[in-house]
Chain A
Amino acid sequence: MADTAPLPSWSIYTILIAQGATYALLVWFLGRTRGKTAEAFLSGGRDIGHGMINASIVATWIWAATLMISSWTGYHYGFIGPWWYALGATVPLPIMAYLGRRVKTVMPKATSYPEFMLNRLDRKNHVLHSLISIVVALWITVMIITGGAVMGHVFTGAPFWAIALLIVIIFVSYIPFAGLWASIFADTIMSLMLYVCLVIIAAAVLVKIGPSEIWAGLIEVASTQPTLHPGADEVEHSSQWDGLNWLNPSGLGFLIVNTVGNLGAVMCNQTYWSRVTGSRDPQTVFKSFMTAAVCWWPIPLATGTALGVAALSQGLVVGESYSYGSATILFTEPEAVAPVMAFLVLGFVGLTIFILAVGSATVSTGAGEILAVTTVLVNDIFKGHINPRAKDRTLLVASRASLFIIAGTLLAVVLFFRHIGFSFAGMYQAMGIAFSSAVIPVIMACFVRTTNCNGAFWAAIIGSLCGITYWMATGMDLLWGVVWGNVIVLSVSALIAIPWTVLRPQPFDFNSLREAEGTTRK
């Protein structure tokens, strides 16, 4: 691999080490006094303003996949692909704005969303949502580390294990100083870097190729119908030959998958609820999630258009090698279209900028997810069930220790999966089907005064089981199987929770949550 990698291996080490050192230094300099107590460590002080929260949500919701897959949608579905990708993935953020504002208003001292579920519903819902949020965050982190390390390995030739190790070290290099505040602050810096990287790439494509030439290229592809992905089925070919169609049919299914599948990844994920916890007030929560949606949308949209659609217009063929000056790059698979196109437009600089952007996206999301797991483990499991009388110092030590234990475990899991050749194909979709059933109970717990605790609990479990059973019956189909799987999950969940609540209402006084805090109440 080292011989065919376009960049030297030291480049990925430099990028990662420089990022880790910068975040650790800045967090130590600006925020070292902020993690002195367990409450401050896990809640970020509850006084963070709109700017940092907004940027943190943007950075956390940008994964390597946001940049890679949005470009793939442009290459696969034409100019409308990035619009659908961006729309589908943006939807959870405005919904989260309403949920976050509601929880911040009715229970301002909540540290985690399972803690809210405990105080609003009951203990069994608390355990269920604690487990869901832990599994969601861990699973996302495993995928993120693997994705980042694979990309670094392919483009620099550095060993997979070394990159994965470095990524994990960076996760825990700055968070122990100040906990949630450190995570949000580093996200902020990463989002600033991401915008610079992506604007450079988008502007370069605009100047060096230009929209007129891209349009002409798409017309050329539509009229000559070349085979751009040898071995792919006819649906994919016909989709690529239809790159100027604003109603590309096979992209519509992708829109539904992306919309429904992402609901659980945001609303049942403590990482995003931590941004609610750290915010100054309910208005800051609402404004930050809303503006984050508007600021996040153009990231996959512009990246997918600049790199994916442009690659389609240039007729890039999977399996071919492409040159920039004397250097060449192999276009190994359609999902790698973004870095290949960045390389073809700006050479090594373009590829380095893209890897920097992906590295930032990986670190910001991964670190936030690890801290989210720590929050639920310490705040909900340890304090809630194991040692309710734990002192603040014990909780602080447990929080810091958890970070390192989780990071080490994740590294071991990632290396093990890599060793056995585990395929992550479809695993993100599986996660959406498994956990989107908890979305309706969470929304009802926030807004419906009479939500039945048993209804909410069984809706999450039975909805998930129905969706998974259906998806497995379709042979884990990654297009319409996932689409209907997600629709079934949400429908079954709603059909259980809503009638149960209507038939057996359990009136609840939201005012009782105003002073509620902690996980030992019920």
Chain B
Amino acid sequence: MEVQGQILKTGELNVPEIGYIINHWVTVAWLSLAGLYVYYVVIADLVKVIRGNKKEQEQGESKT
């Protein structure tokens, strides 16, 4: 059968259990690290935005 033939042929390229476990953990770890990085840089930026707004407000008040 053609389909079975393909499986037998490509089956040699199958990853072993340890390979799949590493693959799965890499995906979750990468996602988590990417999330942490995005949180870190976003919070740093938002702090700057809030400080900038405060400064602007204070300058506006001192002008009036």
Q: Chain A interface (Cβ within 8 Å of chain B)?
A: 30-31, 33, 48-52, 54-55, 58, 79, 82, 188, 191-192, 195-196, 198-199, 202-203, 206, 211-212, 214-216, 218, 222, 225, 234, 237-238, 241-242, 244-249, 291, 294-299, 301-302, 305-306
Contacts and interface: CB of A to CB of B under 8 A. Distances in A.
Interface of A is mostly: helix
B20 A218 contact: yes
Nearest to A59: B38
B39 to A, nearest CB: 6
Interface in B1-35: 2-4, 6-7, 10-11, 13-15, 17, 20-21, 23-25, 27-28, 30-35
Interface residues on B, range: 35 or more
Contacts, number: 137
B31 A214 contact: no
Contacts of A298: 27, 30-31, 33-34
A79 B3 CA distance: 19
Contacts of A195: 31, 34-35, 38-39
Nearest to A194: B35
Contact of A30 (B6, B42, B43, B49): B49
Nearest to B56: A33
A472 B5 CA distance: 33
B48 interface: yes
A297 B17 CA distance: 24
Contacts of B46: 51-52, 188
7 contacts: A51-B38, A195-B38, A198-B35, A238-B3, A241-B3, A242-B7, A248-B10
Please list the 3 inter-chain residue pairs (A to B) with the smallest Cβ-Cβ separation, ordered nearest first: A51-B45, A195-B35, A51-B41
A358 to B, nearest CB: 17
A102 to B, nearest CB: 23
Contacts of A198: 31, 35
A296 to B, nearest CB: 8
Given A58-B38, A215-B20, A291-B37, A302 B10 contact: no
Given A195-B38, A222-B7, 12 more contacts: A48-B45, A49-B44, A51-B38, A51-B43, A51-B46, A55-B42, A191-B42, A249-B6, A295-B34, A299-B31, A301-B31, A305-B27
Nearest to B45: A51
A196 B38 CA distance: 11
B10 A242 contact: yes
Q: Looking at B3, B21, B41, which has the most chain A CB atoms within 10 Å of its CB? A: B41
Interface of B: 2-4, 6-7, 10-11, 13-15, 17, 20-21, 23-25, 27-28, 30-35, 37-46, 48-50, 53, 56
Contacts of A51: 38, 40-46
B24 A49 contact: no
A202 B40 CA distance: 21
Contact of A50 (B3, B6, B15, B41): B41
Contacts of B33: 298
Contacts of B37: 291, 295
A238 B6 contact: yes
Nearest to B37: A295
Nearest to A287: B41
Nearest to A299: B31
Contacts of B43: 51
Contact of A192 (B6, B42, B53): B42
B27 A54 contact: no
Q: Looking at A58, A244, A291, which has the most chain B CB atoms within 10 Å of its CB? A: A244
Given A33-B56, A222-B7, A297-B30, A211 B24 contact: yes
B25 A55 contact: no
Contact of B20 (A31, A79, A242): A79
Nearest to A202: B28
A214 B34 contact: no
Contacts of B23: 79, 211, 305
B55 to A, nearest CB: 12
Contact of A214 (B4, B24, B42): B24
A137 B37 CA distance: 29
A420 B10 CA distance: 44
B28 A203 contact: yes
Nearest to A218: B20
B7 A49 contact: no
Given A33-B56, A299-B31, A247 B49 contact: no
A215 B41 CA distance: 36
Contacts of A306: 27-28
Contacts of A244: 14-15, 20
A30 B52 CA distance: 10
Given A51-B43, A52-B42, A218-B20, A301 B30 contact: yes
Contact of A237 (B3, B14, B50): B3
